[in-house]
């Protein structure tokens, strides 16, 4: 059986300014979350959803990211020779998923990034996966979004309820009638003021799009923040055809797009991992006993 969705796009061309100065040397997508680079969490999620081809939007300044995503057969062989088979599997990771890297000359916004993937994606449905939004292993919404797409034939946006005060950080949707496991999208707006938001349903880093989005993306004009916004392209498409929103549980998503969010995600994941839980407990106990604080 051919997968209903075989391709995913990962936008990774930004400068990572919220993590400066570390991102002067290390692309944000390679910052570790526990013992795994951030982008690897997205690859694990995509592999579990049956994705066969990943298009990564990068830039020429991010050569370390390209090197990391390229399976290293020679390193894998060397590791197997010394009996480190598990590490060898990690060195050759991605071999089962084809990766195409497309370099953006300039990062002009999420809509521009996805538009740059047009030739690599071709004429088929595809996911857009933002690596700043990490979904715990086994809790990805991609499977439910695929089912929603198969049932309806419509593009599907993953949404969740957020604090109304935070809507200005997201693309926000208004929804209407229920269709299967989704709701019809009736309006979209990028980073609205709380008073202007149509709801508190925010798009949270997972999109299942159809190729008819591309003409709208290529026609984008600068929007919020002077950027070419994916939300504006989606609004244009939603005016022509039905689009659905699938609501995912908020607890399944971790925002690693800021230093504070990255730290929170690392602590939560470590606390739930038997390899690291005792370290977290010990560090907290030491802090409480000694009053240790950073000077």
Reduced DSSP (H G I as helix, E B as strand, rest coil) percent helix, strand, coil of the chain, to 5: 40, 25, 35
For residue 59, what pLDDT is reported?
86
Q: Is 101:203 a contact under the CB 8 Å cutoff?
A: no
In tens, the pLDDT along 84-103 reads 665 555 555 555 788 999 99
Calpha distance 99→52 (Å, rounded): 9
For residue 2, what pLDDT is reported?
52
Domain 7-257 has CATH 3.40.50.2300: no
For residue 90, what pLDDT is reported?
56
Tell the burial category of 289 from Cβ atoms under 10 Å away from its Cβ (0-12, 13-18, 19+). Answer: exposed
For residue 1, what pLDDT is reported?
38
Q: Is 119:217 a contact under the CB 8 Å cutoff?
A: no
Low-confidence ranges of the chain (pLDDT < 50): 1, 295
Calpha distance 82→79 (Å, rounded): 5
- What is each CA distance from 234 to 182, 186, 217, 222, 228, in whole angstroms? 16, 11, 8, 14, 12
**How far does Cα 22 stand from its chain's mean position?**
21
Identify whether 174 is preceded by a cis peptide bond (ω within 30 of 0): no
18-46 b/e with 16+ CB inside 10 Å = b?
ebeeebeebbbbbbebeeebbbbbbbebb
In tens, the pLDDT along 52-79 reads 999 999 988 888 898 888 876 777 677 7
For residue 79, what pLDDT is reported?
73
Phi, psi of 146 (to 5 degrees): -65, -45
Q: Is 56:30 a contact under the CB 8 Å cutoff?
A: no
CA atoms within 13 A on the CB side of 40: 18
E-strand ranges in the chain read 7-11, 32-33, 36-37, 53-58, 98-103, 126-129, 133-135, 156-161, 171-179, 182-190, 201-209, 244-247, 253-255
Whole-model pTM?
Answer: 0.90
């Amino acid at each position: 059986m051919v997968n209903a969705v075989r391709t995913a796009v990962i936008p990774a061309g930004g400068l990572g300014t919220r993590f400066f100065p570390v991102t002067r040397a290390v692309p944000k997508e390679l910052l570790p979350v526990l013992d795994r680079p951030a982008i690897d969490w997205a690859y694990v999620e995509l592999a579990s959803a049956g994705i066969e081809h990943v298009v990564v939007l990068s830039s020429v300044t991010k050569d370390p990211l390209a090197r990391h995503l390229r399976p290293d057969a020679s390193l894998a062989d060397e590791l197997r020779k010394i009996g480190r088979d598990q590490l060898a599997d990690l060195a050759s990771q991605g071999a089962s998923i084809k990766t195409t890297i497309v370099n953006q000359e300039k990062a002009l916004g999420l809509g521009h990034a996805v538009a740059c993937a047009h030739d690599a994606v071709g004429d088929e449905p595809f996911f857009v996966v933002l690596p700043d939004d990490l979904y715990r292993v086994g809790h990805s919404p991609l499977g439910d979004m695929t089912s929603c797409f198969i049932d309806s034939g419509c593009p599907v946006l993953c949404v969740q309820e957020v604090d109304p005060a935070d809507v200005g950080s997201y693309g926000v949707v208004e929804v209407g009638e229920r269709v299967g496991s989704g709701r019809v999208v009736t309006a979209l707006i990028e980073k609205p003021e709380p008073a202007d938001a149509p709801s508190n349903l925010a798009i949270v880093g997972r999109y299942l799009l159809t190729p008819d989005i591309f003409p709208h993306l290529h026609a984008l004009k600068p929007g919020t923040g002077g950027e070419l916004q994916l939300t504006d392209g989606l609004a244009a498409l939603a005016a022509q055809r039905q689009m659905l929103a699938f609501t995912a549980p908020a607890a399944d998503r971790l925002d690693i797009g800021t230093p504070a969010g990255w730290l929170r995600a690392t602590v939560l994941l470590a606390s739930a991992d038997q390899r690291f839980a005792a370290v977290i407990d010990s560090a907290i106990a030491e802090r409480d006993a000694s009053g240790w604080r950073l000077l």
